[in-house]
Structures are given as C-alpha cells and as structure tokens.
Amino acid sequence: MTELNFDSNVVDPMGKFTPIPVDDYLAIIVDSEMKDTKKGDGKYLLLTYEVAEGDFKGRKIFDALNLVNSNTQTVEIAQRALSAICRATGVLHPKDSAELHGKPLVISVGIRAGSNGFEDKNNIRGYSRTDGKELKDITDKTPAVTSAAVGGEKKLKPWQRK
C-alpha cells in the first residue's frame, strides 16, 4: 500500500475524456516506447503525440505501430506509417525512436468508434510535413522540416501563418 494523504474535496474530478475533432493538427512526438502485444507474440511502437497549437494545445494522441507481428500485412502497414512519420519529421534514418521526439509534423486525426464497452477515441489517419512538401519526394537531400508557412488558396492552419 501507498500512503496518499489526499483530499478529493479540494480537487475537481476529471470529466469525461472526449476525442478532439477530426482535423489536421500541428504536433510533436513527446514519448515513444516499444511494448509487447496483448497476446505476447509481437511488439508495437507506442508513440505519444502532443498537439502544439490551437484550441487543443497540450492534448495527447496515441499511435500504435505493430512493427513485429506474425501478420505480414500488419507489419507492412506499420512500416509505411513509420516511413511517413520519419519523412514528415525529417529524420530519415532513426537509430532510436527518441530521435523523432520534439520534431514538428502535421497529424491528420480521425475518430474511431468505440466498441465492446469502450468510448470513441482518436486515431491518426495520416502524417505530413509542416512545409507542405509531399512525403514521397523527401530524400536525404531534402531540408529538414520547419514550421514555415504554406502558400495557396486553401485556409491556412495556425502553424502555416506567418
């Protein structure tokens, strides 16, 4: 047991945790950890993103990439997502997931419907650079990602404005 000496009368209780709206958000990876799958027959990289600007600044979004799994399609999907994350952050050859921490990128956030008694939750549907360059065109010679503004006719996100 752990002694608490806590008085819940002086701290407001946590409210219901609701997903953030579907949209693109400037974010940074603040934590990463390789974990075993529930069945124990694989491993996934758990990435924690923090929204960096706007109404949802500070909110955390989680992303699990099944990099070790008996299902080859699952591994391929995870590797493709990791490639997109690496290209979006400008870290093309990470030796450790910590190299991805603190680098800005844009995450396209969706909402996955809850099931089996679980509430709806956010999921990440895509990744992009803050400068608007296409991920498929990113190479070792491409300058590192920045928070530079993106031109064009579409409505600019807060991180794209000067």
The C-alpha atoms of residue 2 and residue 127 are separated, in whole angstroms, by: 42
CA-to-CA separations, 157 to 5, 30, 41, 108, in angstroms, rounded:
45, 21, 41, 12
105-159: pLDDT as tens digits: 999 999 999 888 888 999 999 999 998 888 877 777 776 665 443 333 445 565 5
12-22: pLDDT as tens digits: 887 777 899 99
CA nearest to 130, candidates 143, 115, 116: 143
pLDDT value of residue 43? 96
Domains and CATH numbers, the chain: 18-141 (2.40.50)
- In this prediction the pTM is 0.79
Q: Would you give the DSSP letter of residue 87?
A: H
The C-alpha atoms of residue 146 and residue 101 are separated, in whole angstroms, by: 14
Q: What is the mean pLDDT of the chain?
A: 87
Name every residue whose Cβ is closer than 8 Å to that of residue 93 and which is 6 or more positions away in sequence: 86
